[in-house]
Structure 1
């Protein structure tokens, strides 16, 4: 009897744990050319633009469109930044004056002067899979 109870409790705990994660599908439909790739970075508040992202992905471009899916993401607040790595060098390129040479965007599509801000880009991930469209 104790074995059955232990198995039941283990099953319940795994079921509850599985519900604490979700997925985020991000698409971009206005890439200016199919040249290069698009880099995506998923951040939480603690690492936003100051440390490595929670997850990162790279996607090819076809007909000006690209998308990625981040799976098994714990529920919480996040922000996504992405850029068109036109020359495929793995980094965003800048002019001498600090202006970006390559197109970029962030979740919520807020485009302001200066670098993206956490408060502008943040969103909440709940149990329902999330689909976002980012514009360059």
Structure 2
């Protein structure tokens, strides 16, 4: 009986892990950081969470040579938006001037940030069944 229970649990676990592997890898390159201070990060959103809730995934790294590469794994096909931040002082958030303008550089996937806060229509990208390399300039 213990053997049967173990086999059922092993099969269910294998199915769960197999489902996660159906997604693709998104490799985000930020090539134009102003310096190597702090940390650069990226956050992956869908339309429901974009600028409203916690991201679906995050990735961060310390810049080298004024650039950084970040990775999101197991991303299912669909519409997503990515926001990047160069947190130069390492406090874990975007800092703003008294007039509301950002003190730190940021970028957005899709057609870019434009003027003002990022919008879903500017950030939206379509993820298919192939791994993607995405460059986001700040």
The answer to whether the 8 Å contact 1:36/1:85 transfers is yes
Output the TM-score relative to the length of structure 1: 0.85
Tell whether 2:122 aligns with 1:120.
yes
Aligned residue runs from structure 1 range 1-136, under 5 A: 17=19, 20-136=22-138
Deviations 1:48-72 (A, max 9, x none): 0110000011111000010111011
RMSD: 2.0
Could you tell which deviates more after superposition, 69-78 or 19-28?
Answer: 19-28
Structure 2: gaps spanning 5 or more residues: 1-10
User: Alignment length, in residue pairs?
Assistant: 125
Q: 1:18 to 1:94 in 2, by over 3 A?
A: closer
Output the TM-score relative to the length of structure 2: 0.83
Provide runs of 4+ in structure 1 moved above 6 Å.
none
State the SS of the aligned residue for 2:110: helix
Deviations 1:106-135 (A, max 9, x none): 102523221011011111111100110000
